[in-house]
């Protein structure tokens, strides 16, 4: 019997570079991204994820589900107040990772998942060690298991680009918090 994995999905492109690396798990995705700067962008990314997963489920006979958390950008804004002009990779990112993974870890624990993980480590712009340290700390806090990863290995990022082209996936050109940084 496969372990039940709650996988935080930041977007469809990153998810497309990760799913194939997790074939040994029963996967449910969770789309929780209050860092995204507008509700329109949030919905665009959620729609792209839903469309991609429907296609993958149909093509591969899978039953991957998506838990969608309602948009609430105020959470991100209040936690990162004063860090608005920081470049990607700075303190604001660590706060954002912790905010999202905390929600995911608690959800995993409260809803009977065996472990949780995130697609964030597929990005070459994200520090996988910081993300894994946060995930491991939250696993201890919630008494659950975190799947440490560096999904950019094994060409995860390259595959995300290829899958974006193959499936016509909307591929945003910024993380979410501010397209000008």
Q: How far is it, in rounded angstroms, from Cα 180 to Cα 65?
A: 33
- The three-state secondary structure class of 119 is helix
What's the distance, CA 137 to chain centroid? 17
In sequence order, what are the residues at sequence separation of 6 or more whose Cβ sits closer than 8 angstroms to the Cβ of residue 85? 181
Tell me the pTM: 0.95
Q: pLDDT in tens for each of the 181 residues of the chain?
A: 999 999 999 999 999 999 999 999 999 999 999 999 999 999 999 999 999 999 999 999 999 999 999 999 999 999 999 988 888 888 989 999 999 999 999 999 999 999 999 999 999 989 999 999 999 999 999 999 999 999 999 899 999 999 999 999 998 876 666 645 4
Q: How far is it, in rounded angstroms, from Cα 149 to Cα 103?
A: 18
């Amino acid at each position: 019997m496969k372990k039940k994995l709650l996988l935080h999905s930041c977007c469809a492109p990153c998810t497309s570079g990760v799913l194939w690396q997790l074939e040994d798990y029963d996967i449910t995705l969770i789309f929780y991204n209050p860092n995204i700067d507008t509700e329109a962008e949030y919905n665009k990314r959620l729609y792209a994820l839903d469309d991609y997963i429907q296609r993958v489920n149909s093509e591969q006979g899978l039953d991957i589900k998506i838990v969608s958390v309602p948009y609430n950008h105020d959470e991100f804004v209040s936690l990162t107040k004063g860090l608005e002009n920081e470049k990607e990779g700075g303190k604001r990112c660590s706060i954002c990772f912790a905010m999202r993974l905390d929600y995911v870890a608690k959800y995993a624990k409260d809803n009977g998942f065996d472990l949780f993980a995130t697609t964030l480590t597929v990005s070459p712009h994200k520090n996988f060690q910081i993300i894994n340290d946060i995930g491991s700390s939250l696993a201890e806090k919630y008494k659950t298991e975190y799947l440490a990863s560096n999904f950019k290995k094994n060409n995860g990022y390259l595959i995300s680009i290829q899958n974006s082209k193959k499936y016509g996936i909307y591929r945003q050109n910024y993380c979410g918090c501010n397209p000008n940084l």
